A and B are shown apart, each in its own frame.
Chain A
């Protein structure tokens, strides 16, 4: 039987680092995707996760509802990632750059490699609101069901579905005409 979050938090508070590590393993993917939604770069997201996890350990006594540890942890990781983004002066709300503009209006014959595609996706995702980025990444990149997304982000399932739908529409507009989209989704 899987030990509950509340029980693991209790053990971790008594200094049991192994219990805390179990919690991190349980929610690493969520933390990573939340950080990724803020930062857009794998290495930055990993660093933000690491910093957030250490902060969570240091502030564990402040976790008022151990049963909702995951949501609490994600808030810390999200804040850490936001601070890191500000520090790095990454402007995710900037207009699309020249490369990404090519995906919006570009030719279908354009031969895209994975790096270009990733850059285009980053640029398109950057136009979304942070909550939409988190939901799109969790759902379309990591196959999470809405119920789980809603629980971890502390929103309703309906809100999760609505945000995903809006985000996808926006992404489709931005990625329209992209050769990748036509070939990958046949």
Chain B
């Protein structure tokens, strides 16, 4: 406390700071601070928070895999058909319609 001498001026009508006011103002400030920078979540919650980007990444990888796998499958199919035709030629086997269809349908896929 200060010495309130003769020169002291009563400013109490202005209303000084009070504890309830302090509580209210600080609580509002802390709520804004909390909203802007949330506290660290538990590990599982953090992992769970990544499910959307994780799913998106998985879809992209799957699509890439399909794109990369497609030419190889086609090449393999062609190679397989050629091998079979060569086998037929070497063995003198005359393929049936069903065998031809099965061989070249696989190639066209």
Contacts and interface: CB of A to CB of B under 8 A. Distances in A.
Do A and B belong to a common assembly?
yes
Interface of A: 15, 17, 20-21, 24-25, 28-29, 32-33, 36, 42, 46, 49-50, 53-54, 57-58, 114, 117-118, 121-122, 136-137, 139-146, 165, 168, 171-172, 175, 180-181, 184-185
A58 B29 CA distance: 12
A17 B25 contact: no
A54 B17 contact: no
From A36, A42, A140, residue with most partner B Cβ within 10 Å: A140
Contacts of B22: 25, 28-29, 32
Contacts of B15: 42, 118
B9 interface: yes
B16 A20 contact: no
Nearest to B27: A21
B82 to A, nearest CB: 66
7 contacts: A33-B16, A53-B25, A54-B32, A140-B10, A141-B16, A142-B17, A143-B2
B11 interface: yes
B11 to A, nearest CB: 4
Contacts of B17: 28-29, 32-33, 142
Contacts of B46: none
Contact of A15 (B8, B25, B40): B40
A20 B33 contact: yes
Nearest to A24: B26
Interface of B: 1-2, 4, 7-17, 21-22, 24-26, 28-30, 32-34, 36-37, 39-40
Nearest to A168: B7
B41 to A, nearest CB: 13
B42 to A, nearest CB: 15
Given A17-B39, A28-B26, A137-B11, 11 more contacts: A15-B39, A21-B30, A29-B17, A46-B25, A49-B25, A49-B29, A50-B32, A54-B33, A118-B14, A121-B13, A142-B16
B11 A140 contact: yes
Given A36-B14, A118-B14, A142-B16, A136 B9 contact: yes
B14 A144 contact: no
A26 to B, nearest CB: 10
B14 A50 contact: no
B29 A53 contact: yes
